[in-house]
Amino acid sequence: MGKVVLANDHGAVELANIIREHLEKRGFSVHHLGVVSHDSVDYPDMAAAACTEFLKGGYDFGVVCCGTGIGISISANKFDKILCALPQNVFAASMAKMHNNANFLAFGGRIDYQEPVTAMLDAFIDNKFEGGRHATRVNKMKALGCKSC
């Protein structure tokens, strides 16, 4: 299969292990940059590590995790060419790929999801970007940038 970069902070150690194991069972090679202990680290640093590694090339997608998934997804989306989605269910994970062409997913280790994160990963992996009118919208998202910085 392909290659995935994975990074997490101290708020998602267990979830990152579940994700890594699931992706490996699906045949992916996982480059895990995250932490394995609950010692505090800053989620922007973990997002930066994952995005920097991803942008070197050779990865199918990335996964980043923190306590809620919010801070690390915001941080990942600061990087040019990264489109990080924060799905809350299987439908949203599917749409992240099909309509938004996301190349990163974010999850929260302290979130009680209604559906398993592994099912959301599968939905993302098993779908393809539909292009067409969605490509126009994705290009508009990418072009937004910082207009007032």
The residues carrying an active-site annotation are 99
CA dihedral over 122, 13, 108, 40, signed as positive or negative: negative
Rounded Cα distance, 11 and 39, in Å: 9
- DSSP per residue over the chain, as a string? --EEEEEE-GGGHHHHHHHHHHHHHTT-EEEE-S-SS-S---HHHHHHHHHHHHTTS--SEEEEEESSSHHHHHHHTTSTT--EE--SSHHHHHHHHHTT--SEEEEETT---SS-HHHHHHHHHT-----THHHHHHHHHHHH--S--
